[in-house]
Structure 1
Amino acid sequence: MGTRTRTTAGTIEGTQQGEVTVFRGVPFAARPVGAARFAAPRPTQAWDGVRDATEFGPPPPQPGRSTEGDDWLTLTVWTPDPGRTGLPVIVWISGGGYLRCNSASPTLDGATLAAGGVVVVSAHYRTGAEGFARLAGAPDNRGLLDQLAALQWVQDNAAAFGGDPGNVTVFGQSAGAGSIAALLAMPASAGLFRRAILHSVPGTFFSTELADDISAEIAAEIGRTPRAAELAALAPDDLVAAAAAVTGRLSKQLERWGGVACTPTPFSPVVDGEVLPEAPWPALARGAARDLELLVAHTRDEYAFLADLLGVEETAVDHVDPTPGLARYRASGAFTADELRDNAMADWLMRMPTLHLAEAALVGGARVWLAELLWGFAPAGATHSLDTLLVYGTADFRGEITAAGPAALAQAQRLGEVMRAEHLAFVAKGDPGWTPYDLATRRTRVYDAEPAVLPYPEERSRELWRGLRFGVLGLSGSRSSAPRPSS
């Protein structure tokens, strides 16, 4: 017999995974089916007896895999000991371009983190059109609403796994960090977490007009209009395919959708004035994260993998918003011709949104620690997501670092141990062990072969972006938005 514990909905039975106990596929909300498919999440129904929690729940509809069932709103819990009390809790919010999330991903297995003395929760949320398309007759940002429901579940159930509901840290990377940035700006998240770790915050938050136009394009791909009642009749995989077709044409939409054409996704949180009242940067500067503790980080080479995948031309730098512009990048003399595009796009998409978020939160009264990963094991350098995989202890899952040689593997292991220990210290006590960030010294934890605390490494980019502010992306050019159909 496995390990049992009782949640508010009923008893579940998990299994042992090395040093920790894991409970998989635990529902935190009802299945989003039928008329509720595009609705806000609803409470899960209680069950009698013991529910098996040894298998992962199916991930939400997403590219690259066939949809399995419809019980998408589940989570997985790794705990050192469900009989303990008062353990810190990490709630992981997956990245994936607002297109993917999967608790079963072996690169995001929570066992190693949990063995460090914390409860780790990884929650599915609706991604793609299911979670982020703007549809008549449905609330915006359903993926964010799912995350709120998972956080509320943690408040109600953390103690059943040994966790302390008063000591919850949300942790996310890329779209997961963008989701957390949105949560910080949402009044509905108040009291659901105490701390946040944000790796590589994307600078893309959509206006309602831009989101309307993108949703209309996706619906038109399959001969529909963006109405929830109309799309609810479609098979989820058909909607995934329609979004994938539009994603494949993004690079051709520079004049119409601006910087969205320079990203790998047509989805982002929508600043709708209701679920998400405003973009995170102004919200945090006005105190939305006051009294919270934030650990904010990015990598040096954020755009390296995307550069070849997206094929963005150098001239696209002038079409993203905000931007210092191509001329200022050239005139700065800070980058060679080969470096200019990748650095400008890394600055716009991840590096400067992350830095500006840290500074806005600091101005608004939060305590902030800043970090940057400089270490890398391949020619691409310190790539997007590598910092998170080092913290999780899974950076060599496919043997890439082993293939780079024993010196690289030894460095990765040492650096991962340092990063994991510092992140766990932050989760437990709100202090990772280095000097907090401030606007005078800009002290930053620099993760390299020899970690150090130094002035912010990307000073040349920071200067180029001085005075620019991130906010809400709208439609570009003179083309007007397609009207949103009435519900």
Structure 2
Amino acid sequence: MTTPAAPDTPDIPASAEQLVVQTAAGAVRGRREEDLAVFRGMPFAAPPVGEARFQAPRPPHPWDGVRDAHAFGPPPPQEAGIQGRTGVLDAPTGDDWLTVNVWTPDVGSQSPSAGRPVMVWIYGGAYKLGHSGSPGYDAQHLARAGDLVIVTFNYRVGIEGFARIEGAPANRGLLDQVAALEWVRDNIAAFGGDPGRVTVFGESAGAGSVAALLAMPSARGLFGRAIAQSVPGTYFSDELARDLATEIAAEAGLRPTAADLATVDPRKLTEAGAALGAKMAERVDRWGQVAPTVTPFSPVVDGEILPTTPWQALAAGAAREVELIVGHNAQEFRLFLAMGGLLGKVTEEQATAALRLFAPGGGAEGEHAYRSAFPEADPSELYERVQSDWLFHIPSLHLAEAQVAGGGRAHVYELTWPAPGGGGALGACHGLDIPLLFGTYGADLGNLLFAGVEVPAEARALTARFHTSWTSFARTGDPGWPAYDSERRLVQVLDVEPEVRPYPEETSRRLWEGHDFPPLPLIGG
């Protein structure tokens, strides 16, 4: 087993109190950091290399003695992302990607019935990026605010986790998540947590993962509450996923098989996924709506590990016993406009193409529906609106509606407070909820969203509200606002003056009424 070569942790005095906890695989030594005990880089599965490459996660190798749990484990192999977004550039290296981290107010003798609620974070990153050791996911503030146990972990992304290849199970990244939750079930009592009160929460691809877990038979019973922040609507059909994997393998001069791909170092193989991503926008004729996302990875509705889409599963009652929070930000797609240099620069032709590709019904009919519904919108507004709706707004809302239809309960929110960086031009864009939730305004994406400004009092107040609502939900199932129903449609609007009101995006809701987000298809060969 490869041990992380260098810590990815804050500077900690050498005299800090050290704590030892016995896990199922062996003893680990954490550190006391102020009023928390923190354990980093604990294996929840064996390194997925060698014979284990591209396979379902296997139990961790047991060890003798006490293993230091002071450093985050290395990130899973991935292509280059936004600098600082994942913390990968400063992370340790090695093959022990599948590790878990715990922040807890106490460890030791508590029985499970006396343990604290547990919140398990699943990071986003378009299913191709991410690392639980990213500074933006520092869970200390959230753990302190709620007096509960916070768990974060790594899972395989990109080709290693999601490429649909022969000789390997589908959705290996999701199987990693199930294995991490099993580790929580089996070990968290020793860290002062209650395995019977587990809440999973995640953002973007992490929220898509939460939604998938709600639909997966293998995840049933591992958590009782879930929070999905900005759920992406992209789940692949088996045919589309296999076609994309074939093209990824071709970029490396290989067949789309586990045997062939395993001949390439996992850190080099990421280049094939990046190369295909750079070309995807040109293949709308073959890959349809997924082509402009330049992301060739998503959970695959393979009929076994993920039997159906989350919306189908929840509407059929698959997760009616799980309490749910789901929501989104008001200007989700604005971030991607800014990253692409398109803010205020979208042409009529670009707007028309986006409306015809993404609007429900598609083609001229879909374009006309959006232009009629938003008659004052300019090309940039239409371009942003239809992609925010298609990718995040409506998938999130429909997940709540499916949960209610299946006999469960859901609470809905929308974040409308604009990011202060860049003169406020970014609005309440994708990812803004991360620094607000974790209180990490100067880390990762927070560097962009809060660039050039002092953190305003409104941001700190929203962070306090996130902390109160999320931890109250984890503790009691009540975030502090009414559950969603199909008549009143009440949601929590998060802004300088938070309020409960009917769903604010009513025009878009009506446009998308009845759309069920089927698996994205392969259009042509």
Question: What TM-score range do you get, normalising by the shorter chain?
Answer: over 0.9
CA separation of 1:335/1:257 partners in 2, compared to 1, >3 Å: closer, same or farther? farther
Pairing of 1:28-427 with structure 2 (within 5 A):
28-64=44-80, 68-83=93-108, 84=110, 85-116=114-145, 117-309=147-339, 313-314=350-351, 315-320=353-358, 322-323=360-361, 325-333=366-374, 335-337=376-378, 338-376=380-418, 377=420, 378-397=424-443, 405=453, 409-427=456-474
Q: CA deviation at 1:265?
A: 1.3
Q: Does the residue aligned with 2:161 lie in a helix, a strand or coil?
A: helix
User: In 1, Cα distance between the equivalents of 2:180 and 2:367?
Assistant: 42
CA RMSD of aligned residues (A): 1.7
Q: Percent identity?
A: 51
Structure 1, unaligned runs of 5 or more: 481-487
CA separation of 1:103/1:361 partners in 2, compared to 1, >3 Å: closer, same or farther? same
Structure 1 residues 154-184: Cα deviation after superposition (integer angstroms, max 9, x where no partner): 0000101000000000001000010111111
Contact 2:359-2:370 within 8 A present in 1 as well = no
Structure 2-normalised TM-score?
Answer: 0.88
Q: CA deviation at 1:129?
A: 0.3
Structure 1 residues 307-361: Cα deviation after superposition (integer angstroms, max 9, x where no partner): 2445693213322375562111001235512311100000000000000011001
Contact 1:372-1:446 within 8 A present in 2 as well = yes
User: In 2, Cα distance between the equivalents of 1:266 and 1:215?
Assistant: 8
Letter in 2 for 1:3: L
Structure 1-normalised TM-score?
Answer: 0.95
- Which stretch shows the higher mean deviation, 211-220 or 65-74? 65-74
Q: Does the residue aligned with 2:212 lie in a helix, a strand or coil?
A: helix
Letter in 1 for 2:203: Q
1:458 is matched with 505
Contact 1:198-1:297 within 8 A present in 2 as well = yes
CA separation of 1:54/1:444 partners in 2, compared to 1, >3 Å: closer, same or farther? same
Letter in 2 for 1:331: S
Contact 1:39-1:139 within 8 A present in 2 as well = yes
User: In 2, Cα distance between the equivalents of 1:108 and 1:335?
Assistant: 39
Q: Does the residue aligned with 2:372 lie in a helix, a strand or coil?
A: helix
Contact 2:141-2:438 within 8 A present in 1 as well = yes
CA separation of 1:335/1:419 partners in 2, compared to 1, >3 Å: closer, same or farther? farther
1:470 is matched with 517
Contact 1:98-1:128 within 8 A present in 2 as well = yes
2:38 is matched with 22
- Which stretch shows the higher mean deviation, 248-257 or 388-397? 388-397
User: In 2, Cα distance between the equivalents of 1:370 and 1:61?
Assistant: 34
- Which stretch shows the higher mean deviation, 453-462 or 333-342? 333-342
User: In 2, Cα distance between the equivalents of 1:388 and 1:242?
Assistant: 29
- Which stretch shows the higher mean deviation, 392-401 or 282-291? 392-401
Q: CA deviation at 1:22?
A: 0.8
CA separation of 1:334/1:395 partners in 2, compared to 1, >3 Å: closer, same or farther? farther
Structure 1 residues 221-279: Cα deviation after superposition (integer angstroms, max 9, x where no partner): 01001000111110112210010011111211211111112214110000000111011
CA separation of 1:89/1:264 partners in 2, compared to 1, >3 Å: closer, same or farther? farther
Structure 1 residues 442-475: Cα deviation after superposition (integer angstroms, max 9, x where no partner): 1000001111101101011101111222110011
Q: CA deviation at 1:89?
A: 0.4
Q: CA deviation at 1:45?
A: 1.6
The answer to whether 1:429 aligns with 2:456 is: no
User: In 2, Cα distance between the equivalents of 1:402 and 1:94?
Assistant: 20
- Which stretch shows the higher mean deviation, 56-65 or 440-449? 56-65
Q: Does the residue aligned with 2:47 lie in a helix, a strand or coil?
A: coil
User: In 2, Cα distance between the equivalents of 1:215 and 1:77?
Assistant: 35
Q: Does the residue aligned with 1:75 lie in a helix, a strand or coil?
A: strand
Letter in 1 for 2:47: R
Contact 1:323-1:465 within 8 A present in 2 as well = no
Contact 1:298-1:373 within 8 A present in 2 as well = yes
User: In 1, Cα distance between the equivalents of 2:176 and 2:300?
Assistant: 15
- Which stretch shows the higher mean deviation, 258-267 or 241-250? 258-267
Q: CA deviation at 1:416?
A: 1.0
User: In 2, Cα distance between the equivalents of 1:122 and 1:399?
Assistant: 21
How many pairs align?
477
Structure 1 residues 55-78: Cα deviation after superposition (integer angstroms, max 9, x where no partner): 110010011257921111111111
User: In 2, Cα distance between the equivalents of 1:409 and 1:159?
Assistant: 38
User: In 2, Cα distance between the equivalents of 1:20 and 1:202?
Assistant: 34
Contact 2:426-2:449 within 8 A present in 1 as well = no
2:485 is matched with 438
Letter in 2 for 1:342: E
Structure 1 residues 113-160: Cα deviation after superposition (integer angstroms, max 9, x where no partner): 111211111110000000000010000000000000000000000101
- Which stretch shows the higher mean deviation, 313-322 or 420-429? 313-322
Letter in 1 for 2:356: D
User: In 2, Cα distance between the equivalents of 1:402 and 1:39?
Assistant: 40
User: In 2, Cα distance between the equivalents of 1:134 and 1:320?
Assistant: 25
Contact 2:360-2:511 within 8 A present in 1 as well = no
User: In 1, Cα distance between the equivalents of 2:360 and 2:101?
Assistant: 38
CA separation of 1:400/1:60 partners in 2, compared to 1, >3 Å: closer, same or farther? closer
Q: Does the residue aligned with 1:414 lie in a helix, a strand or coil?
A: helix
- Which stretch shows the higher mean deviation, 76-85 or 161-170? 76-85
Letter in 1 for 2:427: G
Contact 1:11-1:49 within 8 A present in 2 as well = yes
- Which stretch shows the higher mean deviation, 445-454 or 330-339? 330-339
User: In 2, Cα distance between the equivalents of 1:78 and 1:264?
Assistant: 35
Contact 1:296-1:358 within 8 A present in 2 as well = yes
Contact 1:88-1:428 within 8 A present in 2 as well = yes
User: In 2, Cα distance between the equivalents of 1:229 and 1:402?
Assistant: 46
Q: Does the residue aligned with 1:415 lie in a helix, a strand or coil?
A: helix
